[in-house]
């Protein structure tokens, strides 16, 4: 177990020593504010500090260390160039209260990124103000609600396939819609008969993920959207993971009315760890007047932040969302260009199919032998040895990989959702495949090895239920000073 920096402390040890007399105590500060005892800082040398933090940074798995085969989430390695762009002083030092005259460059970034997202997705207008995918969904539902209220239509229902991300029904519910889950067809796609039976003139929105969470493209997307539109309802695309489609197919052309994309999945910003995100929302012209404010507009050769639309749903974020994420996304899009974006999705899809093909047989893939950017395999065959998907995921950590998403989507038993992403090399994918094959062998020969995994990580198997119910968020000082 790693020691805390307080345990490494030795009285009198210093990183830097200054010559001359120590500075005199400052005068004029009331005595009650002055410290009576030393601050209790750890006393360590410079190399000890460096090594301490480098060691800490390797205790957890992270994307700079090795693969995250984390389906749906797209925890992918992104070019560091985009981090450099986000750190450019003029951008990093911006204050949100600065005047438009002072922030023309920043406003141009927002305007340009909105335009690029329109071009990539085929939507008419974009707003960047939602701070995450789920926030984008919430905004999308607010837009749909206002759209029908303005038209004096009482539509209360939102239809969501049972393979959807959990945030979809949650967002619809928050806005006051009634959710209806639609069972997927045998092939994992939308069942048109089921959709048809559930569509009525109370249906406001059909929320769909394409490719869906099984990594399957909806082969009848044109018919689906026609059916929904024929009933006067809107089609919503959850485009959190757009890296299956980039440059090949556009949701706007398919007929979607509202979509959200996750900049912190497809477009460079690392996802996870609770850091800032961005879930831009794109709409067709009919919904554009409802978009939140303020908006960036170009007037007489300059950019302005304007809020004057009487029809807008209002503000959904302070100022204009998470600006640092926009810089990374714009840098990513411009650096790759149109052809580069096409190559990204081609590689994402190829990598997923390569792994799926190599593992099929050992880990059955119930839906879709040809997948898009991700696939969902099942750990079902290992149950006869007393090994569950959770054990397989834990064992993967011993091989230096992060675990994939497990037990989601719910329609695949013992689900293992795998998405290698476009940034991984064939050698990395082969190492991952070898590890998965080795684990399948171990499950039959030595199931206990899996049931007690991980063995090589700094922390062994945790009691996850207790950790969730009774998290210990602060360590008592006695523990850390030892």
Ligand X SMILES: *Cc1c(COP(=O)(O)O)cnc(C)c1O
Task: List residues binding ligand X (CB under 6 A).
Answer: 72-73, 132-134, 165, 167, 209, 238, 240-241, 262, 277, 279
| Residues 460, 463, 469, 475, Cα dihedral to 10° | -40
Residue 282 CB, nearest approach to ligand X (Å): 15
Residue 151 CB, nearest approach to ligand X (Å): 27
> For residues 103 and 129, which CB has a smaller minimum distance to ligand X in the complex?
129
> For residues 134 and 376, which CB has a smaller minimum distance to ligand X in the complex?
134
Residue 47 CB, nearest approach to ligand X (Å): 39
The pair phi, psi for residue 300, each rounded to 5°, is 50, 50
Residue 153 CB, nearest approach to ligand X (Å): 27
In whole angstroms, give the CA distance from residue 222 to residue 234: 14
> For residues 239 and 252, which CB has a smaller minimum distance to ligand X in the complex?
239
Question: Crossing angle for the helix pair 426-445 and 389-398, nearest 10 degrees?
Answer: 120
In whole angstroms, give the CA distance from residue 56 to residue 192: 52
In contact, 71 and 417? CB cutoff 8 Å: yes
Residue 329 CB, nearest approach to ligand X (Å): 14
DSSP helix/strand/coil, 333: helix
The residue written with tokens 């020691």 in the block is: 3
Q: How many CA atoms lie within 13 A of 419 on its CB side?
A: 31
Residue 283 CB, nearest approach to ligand X (Å): 18
Residue 169 CB, nearest approach to ligand X (Å): 11
> For residues 93 and 273, which CB has a smaller minimum distance to ligand X in the complex?
273
Residue 199 CB, nearest approach to ligand X (Å): 22
The first and second tokens of residue 136, run together, are 């984008």
Instruction: Tell how strand 281-283 and strand 125-127 pair up.
Output: antiparallel
> For residues 283 and 440, which CB has a smaller minimum distance to ligand X in the complex?
283
Question: How many Cβ atoms sit within 10 Å of the Cβ of residue 345?
Answer: 21
The residue written with tokens 């798995």 in the block is: 61
Minimal CB distance residue for ligand X:
133
> For residues 209 and 378, which CB has a smaller minimum distance to ligand X in the complex?
209
Residue 241 CB, nearest approach to ligand X (Å): 5
Please report, for residues 178, 186, 207, 390, the alpha-carbon distance to residue 190 in angstroms, rounded to integers and kept in the order given. Answer: 19, 9, 11, 29
Residue 469 CB, nearest approach to ligand X (Å): 23
In whole angstroms, give the CA distance from residue 308 to residue 299: 14
Closest to 73 measured CA to CA, from 133, 17, 8: 133
> Could you tell me the strand order of the sheet in which 125-127 lies?
125-127, 281-283, 258-261, 234-239, 203-209, 157-161, 178-182
In whole angstroms, give the CA distance from residue 103 to residue 304: 9
In whole angstroms, give the CA distance from residue 65 to residue 6: 27
> For residues 171 and 353, which CB has a smaller minimum distance to ligand X in the complex?
171
> For residues 133 and 270, which CB has a smaller minimum distance to ligand X in the complex?
133
> For residues 73 and 313, which CB has a smaller minimum distance to ligand X in the complex?
73
In whole angstroms, give the CA distance from residue 217 to residue 210: 6
> For residues 260 and 395, which CB has a smaller minimum distance to ligand X in the complex?
260
């Amino acid at each position: 177990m790693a020691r805390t920096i307080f345990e490494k402390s030795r009285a009198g040890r210093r990183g830097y020593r200054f010559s001359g007399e120590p500075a005199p105590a400052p005068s004029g500060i009331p005595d009650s504010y002055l410290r009576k005892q030393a601050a209790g800082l750890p006393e360590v040398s410079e190399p000890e500090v460096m090594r301490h933090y480098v060691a800490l940074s390797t205790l957890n798995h992270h994307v700079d260390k090795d693969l995250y085969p984390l389906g749906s989430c797209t925890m992918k390695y992104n070019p560091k160039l985009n981090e450099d762009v986000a750190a450019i002083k003029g951008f990093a030092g911006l204050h949100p209260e600065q005047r438009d005259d002072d922030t023309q460059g920043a406003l141009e970034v927002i305007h340009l990124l909105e335009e690029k997202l329109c071009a990539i997705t085929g939507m008419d207008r974009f707003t960047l103000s939602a701070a995450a995918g789920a926030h984008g969904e919430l905004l999308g539902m607010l837009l749909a609600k206002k759209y029908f209220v303005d038209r004096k239509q009482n539509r209360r229902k939102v239809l969501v396939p049972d393979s959807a991300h959990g945030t979809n029904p949650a967002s619809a519910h928050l806005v006051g819609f009634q959710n209806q889950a639609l069972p997927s067809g045998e092939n994992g796609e939308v069942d048109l008969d089921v959709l048809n039976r559930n569509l009525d003139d109370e249906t406001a929105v059909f929320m769909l993920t394409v490719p869906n969470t099984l990594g399957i493209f909806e082969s009848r997307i044109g018919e689906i959207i026609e059916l929904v539109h024929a009933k006067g309802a809107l089609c919503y695309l959850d485009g959190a993971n757009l890296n299956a489609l980039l440059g090949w197919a556009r949701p706007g052309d398919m007929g979607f009315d509202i979509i959200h994309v996750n900049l912190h999945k497809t477009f460079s910003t690392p996802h996870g760890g609770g850091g800032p995100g961005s879930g831009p929302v794109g709409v067709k012209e009919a919904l554009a007047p409802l978009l939140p404010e303020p908006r960036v507009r170009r007037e007489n050769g300059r950019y302005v932040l304007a809020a004057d639309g009487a029809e807008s749903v209002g503000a959904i974020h302070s100022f204009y969302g998470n600006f640092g994420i926009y810089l990374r996304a714009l840098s990513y899009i411009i650096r790759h260009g149109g052809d580069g974006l096409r190559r990204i999705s081609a590689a994402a899809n190829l990598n997923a199919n390569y792994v799926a093909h190599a593992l099929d047989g050992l880990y059955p893939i119930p839906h879709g032998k040809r997948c898009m950017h991700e696939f969902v395999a099942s750990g079902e065959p290992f149950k006869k040895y007393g090994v569950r998907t959770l054990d397989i995921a834990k064992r993967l950590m011993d091989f230096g990989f992060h675990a994939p998403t497990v037990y989601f989507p719910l329609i695949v038993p013992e689900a293992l959702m795998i998405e290698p992403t476009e940034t991984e090399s064939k050698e990395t994918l082969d190492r991952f495949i070898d590890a998965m094959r080795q684990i399948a062998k171990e499950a039959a020969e030595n199931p206990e090895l899996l049931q007690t995994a991980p063995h090589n990580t700094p922390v062994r198997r945790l009691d996850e239920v207790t950790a969730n119910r009774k998290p210990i968020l602060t360590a008592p000082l006695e523990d850390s000073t030892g």
